[in-house]
Amino acid sequence: MSHQVPTPIMLTGDRPTGPLHLGHYIGSLKNRVAMQSLQGERYIMIADTQAFTDNMGNIDKVTQAIPELIADYIGVGIDPGKTTIFLQSAVPELVELTMLYMNVTTVSRLERNPTVRDEIKHRQFERDIPAGFLCYPVAQAADITGLKATVVPVGGDQLPMIEIAVETVRRINRLAGKDVLPEPQAMLSSVQRLAGIDGKAKASKSLNNAIFLSDDEKTVSAKVMQMFTDPNHLKVTDPGQVEGNIVFEYLDAFHTDKEEVEALKAHYRAGGLGDVKIKRLLISTLNDLIQPIKEKRDQAFASKGMLFDMLRDGSAKARAAVGQTLNEVKDGLGLFRL
Ligand code: ATP
Ligand code: MG
C-alpha cells in the first residue's frame, strides 16, 4: 500500500512589539522564505493577542508595530501570494481553541516552561504574572494546531512551546480516539539564538539590544562599533579570543565566505588583527544584507492601506481554516454544538 506524505503546512509568527531584527532573520525568516519554493501551505501570524499578555499598558506600541512587521516581511522576501499573513486577534476561533486546550494542560506544566521562566525574570513580574502571560504557550498551541501546521520555523527559545503544542495534540487525539490534529515539528536554523549587541544571550526587541532590518547604514555601523569583543584584547598585537566574541559570532552567522572568517579567526587568535578591522568587515557584511531589505520594506511601508488590505484578506482565509479545525476538535471530543 502506498503511504501518502501530507504536504507540509507552515505556521509561525512574531509578536508586534517592535520591528524585526537580525535574530528573527537568521533564526526564522530565512527559513520562511525558503519554504516558499516548496510544496504546501504557509501562514505567518502577527501575534497581537500574545503581545497584550505583557503589554496591556502599551497598546499603542503593539498597534503601531503591526504595519512595521508586514513591511519587514515584504522586505525580506515574503510573498503574500505564497504566504498568508494574518492577525491573531482577527481570528477569534483561536481563543475558543485556547480555552479548550487550557483544560488539557496544568498550571505546574506551564510554570515549568524555561522560556516563560526567563521572560518572567526579564520582565520583573515577580509574583504579579499576568494569567494570560503564563498561558500564552497554550494559545500558541491553538495557533499552530488551528491551522493544522506541521512545520514551525522558529528560534531555539520556542522549543518548549512546540513541546506543549505536541502534548496538546496527543491529549486531544487521545480523547477523540482518532487523529484530529497533526503533530507539529520545529524547523530550526543553524543559528538558534543570535546574541544581542550587548553580549546578552539573545537579541530581542524587548531588551533593546538588536540590529533591526530597518536600521540605516549609520545606525548599523554605530551598533557594530559598540559591540563587545574580547576585553583582554587591548593592543592590536595581543592575541585575541574568538569564543564569546560577539563580532565573530555575527560574522559566523552572516558572512557568506566561511573560509575568510576562519582565516580571520586564526589571525585574531595569533595577534596582529585589530577590533576595528573586524568590525569594519562586519559593518559592510551587515549593510550588504540589510540595506536592500530596508529599501524594499520602506517602499512597502509607504502604502500602508495596501498592507492592511492584504492582512484583512489573509485573516479571512486563516479564519475559515481555523473555524473548520475548531469544529473538528469539538466533534472529535463529542462537544454539544447547536
Ligand atoms: P519579544 O522581546 O517581544 O519577545 P523577540 O525579539 O523575542 O520579541 P518574537 O516575536 O518573540 O521576538 O520572536 C519571533 C521569532 O523569532 C521566534 O521564532 C523566535 O524564536 C525568533 N527569534 C527571536 N529572537 C531571536 C534570536 N535572538 N535568535 C534567533 N531567533 C530569534
Ligand atoms: Mg520573544
Taking the C-alpha atoms of residue 154 and residue 202, their distance in angstroms, rounded to an integer, is: 14
325's enclosing H/E stretch is helix 304-333
- Check pocket membership of 194 for ligand 1, CB cut-off 6 A: yes
Q: Give the Å distance between the CA of 39 and the centre of ligand 2.
A: 28
Q: Is the pLDDT of residue 1 over 60?
A: no
Q: What is the pTM of this model?
A: 0.95
Distances (CA, A) of 114 to 50, 109, 122, 228: 18, 11, 12, 27
Q: Is the pLDDT of residue 233 over 90?
A: no
- Check pocket membership of 32 for ligand 1, CB cut-off 6 A: no
Beta strands at 84-87 and 151-153: parallel, antiparallel or unpaired: unpaired
Which whole number is the average pLDDT over 197-224? Answer: 93
Q: Give the Å distance between the CA of 320 and the centre of ligand 2.
A: 27
pLDDT, residue 3, reads 65
Q: Is the pLDDT of residue 201 over 90?
A: no
pLDDT, residue 2, reads 52
Domains of the chain by residue range? 9-195+304-333, 217-297
Q: Give the Å distance between the CA of 241 and the centre of ligand 1.
A: 28
pLDDT tens per residue across span 99-124: 999 999 999 999 999 999 999 998 89
pLDDT tens per residue across span 234-248: 898 999 999 999 999
Within this chain, domains 9-195+304-333 and 217-297 share the same CATH topology:
no
Taking the C-alpha atoms of residue 144 and residue 90, their distance in angstroms, rounded to an integer, is: 15
- Check pocket membership of 189 for ligand 1, CB cut-off 6 A: no
Which whole number is the average pLDDT over 251-261? Answer: 96
Pick the CATH number of 217-297 from 3.40.30.10, 1.10.240.10, 3.40.50.970, 3.40.50.300: 1.10.240.10
pLDDT tens per residue across span 290-330: 999 999 999 999 999 999 999 999 999 999 999 999 999 99
Taking the C-alpha atoms of residue 205 and residue 58, their distance in angstroms, rounded to an integer, is: 14
Contact of 144 with 165, CB cutoff 8 Å: yes
Fold (topology level) of 9-195+304-333:
Rossmann fold (3.40.50)
Distances (CA, A) of 180 to 183, 267, 325, 338: 10, 57, 8, 20
Taking the C-alpha atoms of residue 51 and residue 54, their distance in angstroms, rounded to an integer, is: 6
Which whole number is the average pLDDT over 248-262? Answer: 96
Ligand 1: which of 21, 24, 159 to mutate, most ligand atoms within 8 Å of CB? 24
Query: Model confidence at 231, in pLDDT bands (50, 70, 90)?
Result: confident
Q: Which atom of ligand 1 is least distant from the CA of 15?
A: 10
